[in-house]
Amino acid sequence: MRVVVTGACGFLGSRLAGELLRTRTLAGVPITRLVLADRVVPPPDSVLVADPLVDVVHGELTDRLGEVFAEPVDVLFHLAAAVSAECEADIDLGMRANVDTTRALLDAARAQSAAGGPSVRVVFSSSVAVYGSHPETPLPAVVSESTLPTPRSSYGTQKLVCEHLIADCTRHGFLDGRVARLPTVAIRPGRPNAAASGFLSGIIREPLAALPATCPVHPELRAALSSPRRAVAGLLRIAEAERGAGPGRLHGPLPVNLPALTVSVAQMLATLRQLAGDAVADLVTIEPDPAVEAIVGSWPAVFDNRRAAALGLEPDPDFTSLVRDHLIDRTGTP
């Protein structure tokens, strides 16, 4: 089985690649080649690059599709994307990085099938940003896959466009598309990125590293969160699931909302204070930013997780577990 991961040098992409290399199987089938594609050059000392199972494709994805599809692709995890705030600031960037790149990948997968090759199983990492709340069209108290997506950001709109393209290609039999809508994944290590939701990691990550952090929303704002570990598990489970009726199968064309823990910013900061003490928690300053609140505040916070639960996926038990996961990843000890 030849498996491709786009965005493989990113936060989730590298974790997904690491898990695939650890198990060296997908859906019980041995992985013969793992192709890691990213516009970023992987570190030369990366354990992923050093693995003999790995091929690296570096550069703009639309310019490297010949390498990605040089041999038949069986499963493609498409994680490469521009993130929310940068898409809002530069809609052309978002359209190129998110919509145009995804369409090019789908065209390549379709060409492989048309040439007699295997139908590519495409697992697309979408986002709960496809949902949006507006005073005239408020979201229900609990959101499910049957809730009409009405995105309130360019990023959410671009993700929704890609979802529909994948669904239509699947309907035509060009490929086997699967869509996982991710909640905000926290706590992300490393430097802040351009995601509007990045502060949900930063208000914990920075103080734990003895650095100040700014929270750009009011503390009562609630968010839907997933740990990196559970997000990767969700992507893998959706890739492995069989289609059809019954528990543990993918039913129809609907995307799957990965399970989410609902927590307020105030609860997050209270957990930080409880685990790390007042001096650490006091490094966070509340400075509301209307632009950030407009994006993040439009996203739903409470989800009906039954569809994910039928696939054996559950949300993180509490926010403390997310903080402890982060500490283990950073220091090796909780």
The confidence score (pLDDT) of residue 167 equals 96
Q: Reply yes or no on whether 155 is catalytic.
A: yes
What is the residue-wise DSSP string for 147-212?
SPP--SSHHHHHHHHHHHHHHHHHHTTS-EEEEEEE-EE----SS--S-GGGHHHHHHHHHHTT--
Closest CA to 233 of 320, 316, 126: 316
Name the band, by pLDDT with cuts 50, 70 and 90, for residue 244: confident
122 versus 254: which is more confidently predicted? 122
Radius of gyration of the chain (CA): 19
Q: What is the mean pLDDT of residues 3-27?
A: 96
301 versus 332: which is more confidently predicted? 301
Q: Tell me how far apart the alpha carbons of residues 320 and 263 are, in angstroms, rounded to a whole number.
A: 11
Taking 60 as the threshold, does the pLDDT of residue 334 lie above it? Answer: no
* pLDDT tens-digit series, residues 134-191: 888 899 999 999 999 999 999 999 999 999 999 999 999 999 999 999 999 999 988 7
Taking 70 as the threshold, does the pLDDT of residue 332 lie above it? Answer: no
Read off the amino acid at residue 33: R
Q: Tell me how far apart the alpha carbons of residues 203 and 182 are, in angstroms, rounded to a whole number.
A: 20
Task: Out of 155, 199, 299, 319, pick the active-site residue.
Answer: 155
* pLDDT tens-digit series, residues 180-203: 999 999 999 887 777 889 999 999
- Both tokens of residue 72? 């038949």
C-alpha angle with apex 48: 42 to 49, nearest 5 degrees? 55
Closest CA to 27 of 229, 235, 197, 184: 235
* pLDDT tens-digit series, residues 258-274: 999 999 999 999 999 99
The confidence score (pLDDT) of residue 248 equals 85
Name the band, by pLDDT with cuts 50, 70 and 90, for residue 329: confident
The Cβ of residue 219 has, within 10 Å, a number of other Cβ atoms equal to 15
**The whole model's pTM is what?**
0.95
Which of 41-55, 56-70, 237-251 tops mean pLDDT? 56-70
Closest CA to 48 of 12, 19, 80: 19
What CATH number should be reported for the domain whose range is 81-331?
3.40.50.720
* pLDDT tens-digit series, residues 84-93: 889 999 999 9
Taking 80 as the threshold, does the pLDDT of residue 94 lie above it? Answer: yes
Contact (Cβ atoms closer than 8 angstroms) between residue 135 and residue 89:
no
The confidence score (pLDDT) of residue 333 equals 57
Q: For the chain, which residues make up each domain, given as ranges? A: 81-331
Contact (Cβ atoms closer than 8 angstroms) between residue 85 and residue 72:
no
Q: Tell me how far apart the alpha carbons of residues 82 and 94 are, in angstroms, rounded to a whole number.
A: 6
Query: What does the CA dihedral 142, 147, 152, 155 come to, rounded to 10 degrees?
Result: 110
